[in-house]
Structure 1
């Protein structure tokens, strides 16, 4: 019969025992735009800041929301109803709060998207995050790739780790959770001592927000190390540490199959020794002119001339060329006339 017991029934237990009152119906939902909702949130945050400052409590916006939630949750259920949320704001902040009950009702529809008529602190902060990110700018792929390039260049200069996205992630993932939020990402980009110190003149805050908006595509409020690395590799493939071999490219279908020139070579018209010598001399003169245009030294023996051409066009670094590669080098690099190439 005592009402002073230290045991507290949960809402579920109260409901199962018939102690819980039925939830009161919510007021009608007024129409508000996203901009109106953001203004309401800004008004709440500004009012909470002033309210707690009067009490000598100076803290961040997130801390103010957490303190407000804890003080309003008088039954320690870990949840707030709309009426608790509304009455606490209109009661505590009545002298400084400019929004009205209808503004709070419209905001509640965003805070409680599943219609459970209750929100936890996690649901509250998650909804506020989505509402905030919704107003951030969007960027195209070219701008995203430019931001990745800036990040890679700074990573290369400061840590000698260009393309090492895992190392970049670990710089700010101090708790080793494998996740970072926007504040940690911003620390990675801006911090002079523990980050990469990318200045706003190179990557403005608007581009930083647009980048994060693309990075956190599912609006989960944080990204995992796997999501971060995948995104960076997708938009910064040219900066990656790992280079695919020709074999790997061929197996992945990234390289077209080489043309078989065997039949073409076999069917080539016969030429006399004198004609072949004349053609070789002509090719050598053209090659010398090309070397001069490249500020290279052409005053070396003829075999070395061809070696310099091979070094220039041998992308695979195998010190050898196929007939197709040799033909393309004469046509596209040395700019030999089409009749001579044929």
Structure 2
């Protein structure tokens, strides 16, 4: 039985373009106790492959985290399948603010130790014992309260291009780093301050809220559905939008514009810009912010050294990489000494 992709990303993109049908980019998650993760993974792949679902889905004993695209024509069938699974019935689906038919080009359903890489070895708290979920209207009220501490639970490269006003934005590379920093900085306010958190779609905040309750914080809140759902509610209910800039997303779009504010800068020249790109040198692939002028000047590369390599014939580039352990800098997300204007 086929439980893997048979088409390359290029072949899949061509088929999607040829079909000319709209696709919906969707994300969802839930924390639940899943017994046999391999059987569950295979069940999802078999059913979703038949529906032409594409995306990146993680399954663990603690739940599921899914980012995917589905043909609009198959959405109702997809939703019926979710509802047939007890812990996914009526799960909140975050539908992307900006749609792109090519947001995902393969179906990857992977079994992981956790659905959020948190680095925690503390198994003494229940991830389902979460904080209070609030919608956009209550969130707006809470973050104006002087007794509230608003914390962005995302990483530095995400908050750099967009965040809520007055939010604490830890300069961290991982979710795990944020947990320790926030607990340390708010150690004296576990009882008297409201800890309000937000992230892209809610999954990191959900785990963080359970963790901080376990650590003794008494007033823990999280933005229901994250920035994606907040934006939808703001538009639907004509609320004030307190988010500035773009929301970083984890598909090839790399960002959805939430407000017209551009709060970041090109990492190479310092001009206002919030467009993330990957260095065109395949041996680098560094994620960084680059304006159109620098992209043209640098041939889509992050440095002169990478530009020189990228301009070589492809076979020479392959030969330079052969036999070497190349650190893929995409995981460093903008941490490089060649970026002069990185915040």
What is the TM-score with the length of structure 2 in the denominator? 0.27
What is the TM-score with the length of structure 1 in the denominator? 0.27
- More relative contact order, 1 or 2 (CA 8 Å, 6+ apart): 2
Q: Which of the pair is proportionally richer in strand?
A: 2
Q: Which of the pair is proportionally richer in helix?
A: 1
